Structure 1
Amino acid sequence: MTTITSTGLGSGVDVNSLVSQLVAAERKATDTRLDTQEAQIQAKISSWGTIKSAFSDLKSALTTLKLPSTFQKLAASSSDDGAISVSAATNADVGSYAVEVQKLAQNHTLASMRFDDLSDTLGTGTLTLKFGKTDYDAGTDTYNGFTQNAERSTASIIIDSSNNTLTGVRDAINSANAGVQASIINDGEGYRLVLNTKDGGADNSLQISVADSDGNHTDTAGLSQLAFNGSATNMDQTLAAQNAEMLINGLRVTSTTNTVTQALKGVTLNLHAAQVGKTVQIGVSHDNSAVTEALEGFVTKFNDLNSTVSSAADYDSVNGLGGILQSDALVRSAMSQVRNLLSTAVQGLTGNVKTLVDIGISTESDGSLTLDSSKLSSALSSDPTGVTGLFTVQGRTTDSGITYLGGTTNTQVGSYGIEITQMATKGHFEGGTLTTTTVDATNDSFKINVDGKESGLITLSQGDYTTETLIAELQSRINGDSTLNGAGISVEVSFNTTENRLEITSKNYGSTTGVALLDVEGLGLGLDDGTAFQGDDVAGTIGGFAAEGTGQNLKATEGNAKDLSIAVESGVAGERGSVSFSRGMIDSLDKVLTGLLSSNGTITSRTEGLQKSLDQIDDDRAALDLKMEKYEDRLLTQFNAMDLVVARLQSTSDYLTQQLSSLPYAYNNNNT
């Protein structure tokens, strides 16, 4: 049988309401405590989120300050951009220059005779293209001489029945990548093959020799109609090769191109117009705007961080209130790490700039930073390298023949002595005694191995040479080999007058370089009985410890200088001064901020700890709910038991009252 319980029915008391109130009263103190704790933890998490964002903004402000280029920018100006436009690299010398452009550089241009149709044939044979300085009078069609440019490759292009049309010859020349652009122009009277050298300048004019299959290499029939040399000028010179000529502060300067990069250190002059008698003012000056902007951004972000931390962790004496994180030592520790780095002198710097104060950044009484732009400008003008080293990783050498290349995280800040025990050398080949400079069909070809790369068959032009012209022919032919050229390998050919021999030297340094002549039997020229010498790597120590040489580069392998690299480019063996290495404050500051902000960093650990406290509060609330549920059940049980007793007493009372009222002579209030 089911028992039906009606709470309070027996006593008339609203037990449910009473129990609810008792339960509410019992849990109020705990709820209040948990709510207060939760609000405080949420406020701390929010505050830490704001602080983390401020630290992250400060870290972002370091991005530009990490780059040496930020501190080395130069501004270049021209009083007439239409005549000369200018740009400056970070290594340019500051100064002003008066420039007068008298001539613009020109590329050599030759045009063939006219053809009626693009499919007209030109004959077959071999075109040999050489570059050098041509002495030619176009007015009288007099070809006085040609001096070959040994730095330019010689190209031989075979023309056969598959490519001997006007368009075929054009395409063959372009496919050879020989430094000549071929095109076809219709001048209104016919089609002309036009050859334009890709490089300008007087030393880059084009000489065309033809080995014509018809046996006549100079007439205007067959392939020889493209000849332009001392024996035949069958092509018309429409533009002579010409150097740019200018006066820079009264000094005459020439350039093979109109983009002049060698005249002024770090400065590029783009010549657009020759204006004899007109001077253009060129200026190069420090551009401090990028540095100032970057440092202003850094100061602003630091001050934002300082304000955020102060609001969260400082005590407000006016209102008598402490920040939500006042008792959290971590926030003060994190801020102290940053402040200490900003106030400490950078190790490894040797100039007058070693601290932020030296460039105009000072700390105010409230912990904020201020930037004195005039002091910064003065520091950048007097010691730009020192200002750069204050912020960025930097290496400086005392020997102008040695260049700092870099370091790694293994490299410790400091100054390290350099001792060179062996300078780097180039692999080379020393020929035997030169007895003849004549090249004919018996000695016009050979192969060569340079730096471990074997060339194809190299064929020299037959003829009688002087020592100078033979050097030019050999060097240009070797450097024109497609295999060597494609591997970025080249040589320099010279003549040793003391030993009367040709010498061929790799242009690279180190133990992997070498030159060996192959298939030279009967070559003569002293090259078939020479000696090959392998190159040497630079050797020495950095900071007194062993260093590893690769070509001209020397890298420390031990000690505090480990992984510090330098290039020993000139000079002799012996003690070569020192190289200093510094990291700048940005490197250290970035590491501190990374440690604070990383996924396993201190700020993340703190917020995760606070989140665990929130999770514990949720667990405490769940436990409280269970406790109160049991408490409510206990109260209801107790009140129901009480109600049952009261109901029984009430039932007994009612029974007794009824029995008493039915007794004879029962007393009543009316005494009846």
Structure 2
Amino acid sequence: MGSSIDGLASGLNTTSIIDSLMAVEAQPQTQLKTKLASDQTMISTLQSLNSKLSSLNDLASGDSAVNALNLFSATTSSPSLSATATTSATAGSIDVTVSQLAQGQVDVTAAMSSWPTDGSGAPAHLTLVDSTGKQTEITPASTSLDDVVTAINSASGPARAVKVPAGNGTYRLQLTAATSGAVGAFSVYQGTAAQVSAGTATDLMADPSAAVVKAAQDAKATLYAGTPAAQTITSGTNTFTDLLPGVSVTAAAVSTGPVTVNIASDSAGITKKAGDLVNAVNDVLGFVSIYSTVTRTTDSNGASASSGGIFTGNGSIRAVNDDVFAAMSMPVNGKSPSEYGINVTRDGNFTFDAAKLQSSLASDPSGTQSALQTIASRVSDAAKNATDPFSGSVTALIKGQQSEVADLGSQISDWDQRLATRRATLQGVYTNMEVLLGGLQSQSSWLTGQIASLPKSSTGA
């Protein structure tokens, strides 16, 4: 707003007059700003809906993936054994006897105060050989055992080293396999790789005061123990992967006898997934309902009025709502979703009967899982059709509103310039009026003075 030009000549509050005139002039811009605010609210609400639909799509597409509902629980008859099952498992049981746990090799050298030197007086080389025969030659920076430890650990060979006090100022090098199991076995020599190949290097474990504290070994488990079909399985760790298709078993201790591993359908897990899907669908439908509700109010005169929600009358939003609802409620192979615990309410939402689904899973597990996946796939398609970045109906609405907001912003900016020019014009008009009135007042005062100074005529009787 410009500076006040309220005039002394006219006595008018010209600033107030101009502000009133500008308020009338600005009405088109005010309408544009109101429309802009409405569009921005619509964009925000559409984005929230889009987010809920995207979450629904992620959940439903996950449930409809191959074997996604082929869930199993794995239990064992002993705490010494634990089991896990993936979606590729099948129901059943098997007996397992664990006779040996896996361990990594641990060697300790003879006690020494420093690392030995070679014939030239330089620190002797060190060579580690892994279970495949690969050699890792190490050159310590000095005869300091700390430098030897650093060199071994920096070489990324088959073992890691640590210096352990052995008394009287001496130390042992403890070498621990980098990999558990038989595959992590290693040998350690004083000498170069060439000397190891030639058989002239010194095996550090051959020293009488050196020791292999732990030998590298695999875990061993036996299936069908005590029968002609006995089968031994080994693992570099204490986990036996795919002991059965999709089933892994981890041993915490050697078993004293056969341990039974049971694989059963996880009806609780399947039920949770179905319940989560129903909740996600209700979240979308409830959101649309809230913003489509028509509210009725009564004014002070008793007259009633109705006002729609932001989605009221929006055909595209209604179509999205109907698509999601239909995807969840349509029959599957002639059977109503209610047979799987998914029921439609009077309000157009869904309720979930977990007991009904579990009963269906017990009587027909594969058919029930297939039906749930069909429903999930339909819901995923409906949600994806709304949220697809390029062709989604809700995405298109958001883009359309954003385009309109950009256009309204440009129009409002144009009006800012137009109104600024109009205000300046009005200020100029009223300033000129004040100048003219001031001049007229000066002339009036002069004329009044002149008239007053004229001689008065006298008349005789």
Common fold by TM > 0.5: yes
| Alpha-carbon displacement from aligned partner over 1:426-482 (angstroms, at most 9, x marks no partner) | xxxxxxxxxxxxxxxxxxxxxxxxxxxxxxxxxxxxxxxxxxxxxxxxxxxxxxxxx
Matched, 1:37 2:16: no
Using the TM superposition, give the Cα deviation of residue 252 of structure 1 relative to its aligned residue in structure 2, in angstroms: 6.1
Q: What are the equivalent positions in structure 2 for 1:99-248 lying under 5 Å apart?
A: 99=95, 165=199, 246=225
Query: How many angstroms does 1:14 deviate by?
Result: 3.9
Residue 619 of structure 1, CA deviation: 3.3
Equivalence for 1:344: 330
1:248-287 alignment runs, 5 A limit: 253-257=229-233, 275=256, 280-287=259-266
Counterpart of 2:291 in 1: which secondary structure?
Answer: helix
Please, which of 345, 358, 361 is the counterpart of residue 377 of structure 1? Answer: 358
> How many angstroms does 1:361 deviate by?
1.4
| Aligned with 1:596 (options 386, 393, 398) | 386
Q: 2:19 aligns with which of 18, 21, 24?
A: 21
Residue pair 1:303, 1:368 contacting (<8 A) in 2 also: yes
Which residue type is aligned with residue 286 of structure 1? S
- Whether contact under 8 Å (2:60, 2:377) holds in the other structure is no
- Can you list the C-alpha shifts for 1:116-142, whole angstroms capped at 9, x where unaligned? xxxxxxxxxxxxxxxxxxxxxxxxxxx
Matched, 1:306 2:96: no
- Return the alpha-carbon distance in structure 1 between the equivalents of residues 30 and 393 of structure 2: 31
CA–CA distance in structure 2, aligned partners of residues 257 and 634 of structure 1: 96
Could you give the per-residue CA deviations for residues 580-602 of structure 1, whole angstroms, max 9, x where no partner exists? xxxx3444443443342243333
Distance across 2 between alignment mates of 1:191 and 1:644:
113
Q: 1:310 to 1:87 in 2, by over 3 A?
A: closer
Given residue 323 of structure 1, which amino acid in structure 2 is its aligned partner? G
Counterpart contact for 1:316–1:322, Cα < 8 Å: yes
- Separation (CA, whole Å) in 2 of partners of 1:80 and 1:252: 25
Shift of 1:92: 5.0
CA shift in 2, pair 1:659/1:283, >3 Å: closer
Q: Give the one of 63, 76, 79 matched to 1:78.
A: 76
2-structure distance, mates of 1:652, 1:613: 58
In the aligned structure 1, how far is the partner of 2:20 from the partner of 2:400? 35
Q: Name the residue aligned to 1:389.
A: 370
Alpha carbons 2:328, 2:378 under 8 Å: kept: no
Distance, in Å, in 1 between the alignment partners of 2:242 and 2:37 is 69
- Mapped partners of 2:246, 2:450: distance in 1: 127
Q: Following TM superposition, by how much is the alpha carbon of 1:375 offset from its aligned partner in structure 2, in angstroms?
A: 1.8
Which residue is equivalent to 2:347?
366
Instruction: Give the structure 2 partner of residue 322 of structure 1.
Output: 308
Does residue 635 of the first structure (1) align with residue 429 of the second (2)?
Answer: no
Q: Contact between 1:244 and 1:258, CA under 8 Å: does it hold in 2? A: no
Q: CA deviation at 1:269?
A: 7.0
The verdict on how the C-alpha distance between 1:649 and 1:163 changes in structure 2, with shifts beyond 3 A counting, is: closer
Q: Name the aligned partner's letter for residue 400 of structure 2.
A: G
Pairwise mapping of residues 441-480 of structure 1 onto structure 2 (< 5 A)? none
> What percent identity do the matched residue pairs reach?
21
CA contact (8 A) 2:329 2:336 kept: yes
- Structure 1 residues 177-207: Cα deviation after superposition (integer angstroms, max 9, x where no partner): xxxxxxx986979999xx9999999xxxxxx
Q: Judging changes above 3 Å, is the alpha-carbon distance between structure 1 residues 311 and 74 closer, same or farther for their aligned structure 2 residues? A: same
Q: Quick one: distance in 2 between partners of 1:620 and 1:189?
A: 91
Distance (whole Å) between structure 2 residues aligned to residue 45 and residue 191 of structure 1? 73
Q: Is the Cα–Cα contact under 8 Å of residues 104 and 244 in structure 1 kept in the other structure?
A: no
Look up the match of 2:399: 608
> C-alpha distance in 2, partners of 1:663/1:269?
128
Q: String of CA shifts for 1:65-118, please: whole Å, max 9, x gaps.
A: 134443222223222243x65555556553567x596x9699xxxxxxxxxxxx
Q: Helix, strand or coil for the counterpart of 1:283? A: strand
Q: Residues 342 and 585 of structure 1 are in contact (CA less than 8 Å); yes or no, is this contact kept in structure 2?
A: yes
Amino acid at match of 1:342: M
* Partner SS, residue 56 of structure 2: helix
Shift in Å, 1:377: 1.5
Computed over aligned residues only, the root mean square deviation of the Cα atoms, in angstroms, reads 4.5
Aligned counterpart for 2:91 among listed residues 85, 90, 94: 94
State whether structure 2 residue 445 is matched by structure 1 residue 654.
yes
Partners in 1 of 2:341 and 2:56 — Cα distance?
19
For the structure 1 residues 381 and 627, does the alpha-carbon distance in structure 2 shift closer, same or farther, using more than 3 Å as the test?
same
Aligned counterparts of 2:21 and 2:423: Cα–Cα separation in 1 = 6
Which residue identity lines up with residue 40 of structure 1 in the other structure? Answer: S
Matched-pair contact (CA < 8 Å) for 1:73–1:288: yes
Corresponding residue number in structure 2 for 1:333: 319
Which residue identity is paired with 1:366?
D
- State the 1:615 CA deviation: 3.1
1:334 and 1:94, CA in 2 relative to 1: closer, same or farther beyond 3 A? same
What is the distance in 1 between the residues matched to 2:242 and 2:425? 98
- Structure 1: segments with no counterpart, 5+ residues: 1-5, 107-160, 171-183, 202-242, 393-583, 668-672
Q: 1: distance between equivalents of 2:13 and 2:241?
A: 100
Pairing 1:442-591 to 2, within 5 Å after superposition: 584-591=374-381
Using the alignment, how far apart are the partners of 2:82 and 2:447 within structure 1?
124
CA distance in 2, matches of 1:16, 1:318: 42
1:12 to 1:587, Cα distance in 2 relative to 1, 3 A? same
1:313 counterpart SS class:
coil
Contact 2:96-2:223 within 8 A present in 1 as well: no
Distance 1:630 1:312, change over 3 A: same
Checking the alignment, whether the CA contact within 8 Å between 2:22 and 2:423 is kept in structure 1 is no
Q: Distance in 2 between matches of 1:287 and 1:375?
A: 15
Shift of 1:279: 6.5
CA contact (8 A) 1:41 1:614 kept: yes
Give the partner amino acid of 2:354. S
Alpha-carbon contact 1:15-1:636 (below 8 Å) kept:
no
Residue by residue over 1:494-540, the C-alpha shift from the partner in whole angstroms, topping out at 9 and shown as x without a partner, is: xxxxxxxxxxxxxxxxxxxxxxxxxxxxxxxxxxxxxxxxxxxxxxx
- CA change 1:56–1:196 in 2 (3 A) is closer
Q: Is the aligned partner of 1:625 residue 2:386?
A: no
From the superposition, tell whether residues 262 and 317 of structure 1 become closer, same or farther in structure 2 (CA, over 3 Å).
same
Say whether the 8 Å CA contact 1:75–1:284 is kept in structure 2.
yes
Change (3 A) 1:18 1:70: closer
User: Shift of the alpha carbon at 1:653?
Assistant: 2.9
Q: Distance in 2 between matches of 1:162 and 1:44?
A: 77
Where 1:301 maps in the other structure, the secondary structure is: helix
| Alignment match of 2:272 (pick from 293, 297, 309) | 293
Q: Which runs of 5+ in 2 are unaligned?
A: 102-194, 299-305
How many Å separate the matches in 2 of 1:16 and 1:59? 62
Highest RCO, 1 vs 2 (Cα 8 Å, sep ≥ 6)? 2
Contact kept? 1:258, 1:270, Cα under 8 Å: no
Following TM superposition, by how much is the alpha carbon of 1:324 offset from its aligned partner in structure 2, in angstroms? 1.8
Counterpart code for 2:58: S
The structure with the largest strand share of the pair is 1
Q: Following superposition of structure 1 onto structure 2, how do residues 362-441 of structure 1 map, counting pairs within 5 Å?
A: 362-392=343-373
Task: Provide the C-alpha distance between the structure 2 equivalents of 1:642 and 1:262, rounded to a whole number of angstroms.
Answer: 97
In the alignment, which of 50, 53, 56 is matched to residue 54 of structure 2? 56
